[in-house]
Every structure is written in structure tokens, then in C-alpha cells.
Amino acid sequence: MTTCSLCGHDDLSFTCPYCNGVFCGEHRLPESHGCPGIQKVRESAQRRVSDSLGFEEFEEENQTWTPVMSRKKPKKRSSKKSRFSTTEKRDLLIASILVILVSISIFGSPSGIINGILIFVSFITSPNWWVPVGMISIFLLSFMGHELAHKFTAQHYGMWSEFRMTSMGYYLSAIAILFSIPIFGTGTVYTSGASSREDNAKTNLAGPLSNFIIASGLVIVAILAVLLLSPVSIVYVIFLVQYGIIINGVLGVFNMIPIQPFDGATIKDWSRPVWIVLTIALISMVIIGYLVIPILM
């Protein structure tokens, strides 16, 4: 038996790890005996919560949750820029499968996925098997490139960022697959811990910008195809190029709509000139895809 330092009662001894005082069972908790080391208790609890979550901690001063990477290296970029969690890998795989199904369904437009599968199989068993494979690859690159551009840019600026499937994404994907509609809405990239409005805007900018870069690259491919390929081979190549330019142009323009939750709202709020230039550039890609590229065929 030991005497409690607070009430003087004889009881089993409990030593507080924060102030080293000896207390009875009733006053053994730091809160019960007014422990002068209570701040250490809170910091320890917050640290345990932070470590269990793996990426964020609570800042009492600002009453906000911020990325652990910001706490450890407030002035430096995180070295784990391309980290994917298990949940994110699962959602990316699901999204990729759905995007592939949408692209196959487009083959059967406007009859839907069944007709798309039949046409896809007929192409796969022919010498032109690379055409549907190319279309699926371009469609997948356009969507996943857009989302991963958001993720990697956010991580570059020290933010937590992960892709997640959404309930609306499943519904939109089902509609797209059933009715051969190229809807982009499978999931979204969530971010937190932006240190400035500019970093947040650049993270949003990365998606549409990636679509412009892909479309521009395909324009160069079209020019090279005209210069280097024979008239017989060029038809399918130009078809794929036109498809890719239009898909990326439309996806980019759609996301540049200056209304939340679209990327364009954040970009325009940060820099109107950047929003105008990129929007015009993406619209020009759509025009090139519909009007200019067919001339090359």
C-alpha cells in the first residue's frame, strides 16, 4: 500500500508516467490528478492516432488535420511521391476495368456493350487487331492519366492524395457501358493539406493539362503518319489519332468548366489567364480532331 499524493488515502500505487507522482486508483489518470504533464498526454495521444492513420495528424493550434509529411519536413517535398495504398490500388484496378468496358462498349455504339464485344472480337481475330487495342489504350491513358496527374502533382507539393471510386462513378459507368456513352466519372482523386491556394490550383490544373499534352502528342503522331506511312496503313492510324485527340479534348474542356466541383473553378479563381489559355487550347484540340484530322485521311 502507498499513500496517494493527492488525497492521502492508502491504496495500490500507480505512478504517473508524465509527472512521476504516485496516486490511488481514483486519481491515477492524468486528468484526475491535474497532471502538469497533460500536454504531453495529448501530444502522445495525437501521435498515436497520427501513426495509426499513416498520413495525418491533428494540429491543436489551427484545429485542423494536416499531412504527417508536412510535420516531418515542413520545408521539403515528400520523398514518397508515388505511394499507393492498398485501397487505392484496388480502386484504380476497378476504375481501369470499368474504363476498358466503356471503351469496348463504344465499339458497339449506339447498341451498347453486347454489340461492342462482338465487334471487338471480330477485330481481335483479324490482322487489324491493334486498332481496338489502341483505342482501349488511348481511352485508358486519357482517363487514368488525368487522375494520376492530379495525384502526383498533389504529392509533389507535399499533400496527401489518393484515388477513390465513388457511388456516382459506379452509376455513371453502368450508364456508359449499357448505352455506349463516353462518360468520364468513375472516381476522383481526394487531396488534403494544401499549403497554399496556388498549390491547390496547380494540382487541379494538372489533370486538364495532361489531356492537352496527350492530344498535342497525337497531333504530332498524325503529322508523322502522313509523312512516313503508306496510304493503306494510314487510315487506321489517323482514325486512332482522331479518336484520341477528341477524347482528350472533350475530357479536358469538360473539366475546365468554371463551376465547382470541376477543376476549372479552382483554376479560374487562382489565375483567369491560365484558365482562358488552357480552355482555348483544349477547344482547339477538339476542333482539330473533328475538322482537321479527317482531311489527312
Question: pLDDT digits over 167-201, tens only?
Answer: 888 888 888 888 887 766 678 888 888 778 899 99
Of the candidates 84, 132, 83, 126, the residue with the CA atom closest to the CA atom of residue 107: 132
Q: The cell 492521502 sits on which residue? A: 8
Residue 149: pLDDT band with limits 50, 70, 90: very high
Pick the range with the lowest mean pLDDT from 41-55, 94-108, 243-257.
41-55
**pTM reported for the whole predicted model:** 0.68
| pLDDT reported for residue 50 | 56
The answer for residues whose C-beta is within 8 angstroms of residue 82's C-beta and 6 or more apart is 152, 155
Residue 78 has pLDDT above 60, yes or no: no
Q: Are 158 and 201 in contact (CB under 8 A)?
A: no
As a whole number, mean pLDDT of residues 198-210 equals: 94
- Give the domains, in start order, of the chain with CATH numbers: 1-36 (4.10.1110.10), 86-296 (no CATH)
pLDDT at 226: 82
Which of the four pLDDT bands, split at 50, 70 and 90, describes residue 245?
very high
Give Cα separations from 93 to 66, 102, 191 (angstroms).
Answer: 28, 14, 19
The answer to whether the beta carbons of residues 198 and 156 sit under 8 Å apart is no
Position with higher pLDDT, 271 vs 179: 271
H/E element, 189 = strand 187-192
Which three cell numbers, joined as nine digits, stand for 170? 459506379
In the three-class reduction of DSSP (H, G, I as helix; E, B as strand; rest coil), residue 122 is classed as: helix
**Which amino acid is located at 145 in the chain?**
G
What pLDDT, on a 0 to 100 scale, did the predictor assign at position 73? 46
How many whole angstroms separate alpha carbon 272 and alpha carbon 264? 10
